[in-house]
Amino acid sequence: MGNNLNPTPLLFNDVYFSRWEEPTAPSPSIWAPFPRLPAELRLRIWLLSLQQHRMIEVDLHPTTGDDDAPQYADSNHLGRIISGRSRSYTSRLRGRGSYAASLTSLTLLRVSCEARAAALSFYHIHLPLGTGQVLYLSSEYDVIYVRPRRPKPINRPPETDPDPEFGTILVDFLHDARAYDYKDQGVSHLVLDKEIRHYLLGWFEECVNLTPEMLHPAAATSFADILRYKLRSLLCVVDFGRSTRGMGAPPLGGGWRSHFAQTFPLRRRGHVTGAFHWLQADPRPGVDLDLRQLPIKDDPHLMLRNWRRLEHLFGVTRNQQANRENNDDCGFCLYVCPTKNWSTLDMHRIGGAGMRWATRWNVQEMEAEAEAVWSRDELAQYLQYEAEDWDEQRWYLTRVFGGTHQSPKYSSDSREEAEIFEAMEQLPCTAIGMWLFPAKAFPPPTIPQLLSFNLSAVRPSLLLFEV
């Protein structure tokens, strides 16, 4: 997010990760006594440097005309059947600094034979990519974010359904990640791009598009085994149901709080990849107050029901589903991950009443915006824009209800709540990341037509990116 050593505005990410940074003191580039340490201690030091969560983006490419190799016909050096589709997926590096370096060079592979052995053991998946590179992954620490990648030019808008082939490529990728894992685990934590998720889980009831009959028999068997035993978490990234975190004009029907939800996480612009910490409970003040009203764009109950239908199609029984979901050690959880997908497009207003957002951007411009490397300055501009937009919404509410004073920034029911909101104003509560809610934890919506939920009784996990 840029190289500003004194970033403005200060984020919760900055405060949190500053606690993990060791003070830098002058020291030699090589610590001479290190080789004299016991081998077990040296190995522990190597592993500690590797134990970090990474979200890694993998692009799924449709088959090209020259990809006519037989499927599931060859074995790799581990003696396992591979799909033969390695050219259909690649990994593009996102982020800066240590995260990008950890993917491009895997420094420990070059330090010494001992360090290399530790790194190759830790990253136990060695997956060949279509670029000729090898993607080194840890099933425990790495989260894989898959996206469909269409050839240029784009002939349809990004919201349309993806080609069904992307579903089969996803299965091939998951199979090969396991085939190139000497521990036979493969991908444990998977994030689905919105397009692929909508293809797999649909927009409507019982809208599951991937069936065993669409796959090579070996792929169908492998995918069923992955669903039953290997996949531990599926992260479904969803957008908040409002244009900004300010929720002003109430809809018809009541039950709406005019409120600025400061703790709603902001997404890493364009892509959610990067190094992160997985906090089991969001520690920021005021989270439960903001969660009294959480509008999102996709129905979590529908996601969960259709995911269970997908599992059932591949032979995962209800008892197996229940056992996995209730097993904390090696079970499975489908997470709904709300995050605000912001961009500089939001800051371009056309002007005029009711014309707050830009609408004249074509698909190519939107994709170029999504690919852009964002900066602290752009984030500061967006947060300023968001604050100004909320001020306008508050004055609009004042005029609607015939008031003379601008409506309050937060909706509070007690002095204690007001004090929490005041404390939030003094602390950096804006976070770059995403919440994680188990889909089964969602109650019925309080405002069904808006898919707005009261989740104040649930403390979400927070996936917090290094920025």
pLDDT in tens, the chain (467 residues): 444 444 467 899 999 988 766 555 544 555 567 777 787 888 888 888 788 898 888 888 887 555 566 789 999 999 999 999 888 888 765 544 444 444 544 667 777 788 888 888 899 999 998 888 888 999 999 999 998 876 654 445 544 555 678 889 999 999 999 999 999 999 999 998 788 888 888 777 777 889 999 999 999 999 999 999 999 999 999 999 888 899 887 665 567 888 899 999 998 875 667 788 999 999 999 999 999 999 999 999 999 999 999 999 999 987 887 777 777 666 899 999 999 888 765 555 433 333 343 444 455 555 555 556 677 888 888 899 998 999 888 888 877 767 777 778 887 888 888 888 888 888 889 999 999 999 999 999 998 888 999 999 999 999 998 87
Q: pTM of this prediction?
A: 0.86
3-state secondary structure of 365: helix
Q: What angle in degrees, to the nearest 10, is found between the helix axes of 318-325 and 300-313?
A: 130
Would you list the domain boundaries of the chain?
40-465
The pLDDT tens digits of the residues spanning 354-408 come to 334 344 445 555 555 555 667 788 888 889 999 899 988 888 887 776 777 777 8
How many whole angstroms separate alpha carbon 46 and alpha carbon 243? 45
Dihedral of CA 137/335/449/385: which sign? negative
Tell me if 233 sits within 8 A of 214, measured CB to CB: no
Token digits for 315?
């032979």
How many whole angstroms separate alpha carbon 435 and alpha carbon 337? 5
β-strand 294-295 against 74-75: which pairing, if any? unpaired
Dihedral of CA 93/96/102/107: which sign? positive
Tell me if 176 sits within 8 A of 127, measured CB to CB: yes
3-state secondary structure of 116: helix
CA distances from 117 to 98, 177, 226, 398 (A): 21, 20, 28, 66
Closest CA to 169 of 81, 78, 59, 55: 59
Give the CA count within 13 Å in the CB-facing half-sphere of 217.
1
Tell me if 439 sits within 8 A of 336, measured CB to CB: yes
The pLDDT tens digits of the residues spanning 175-209 come to 999 999 999 999 999 998 788 888 888 777 777 88
**Amino acid sitting at position 187:** V
b/e code 255-278 from CB counts within 10 Å (16+ = b) = ebbbbbbbbbbbbbbbbbbbbbbe
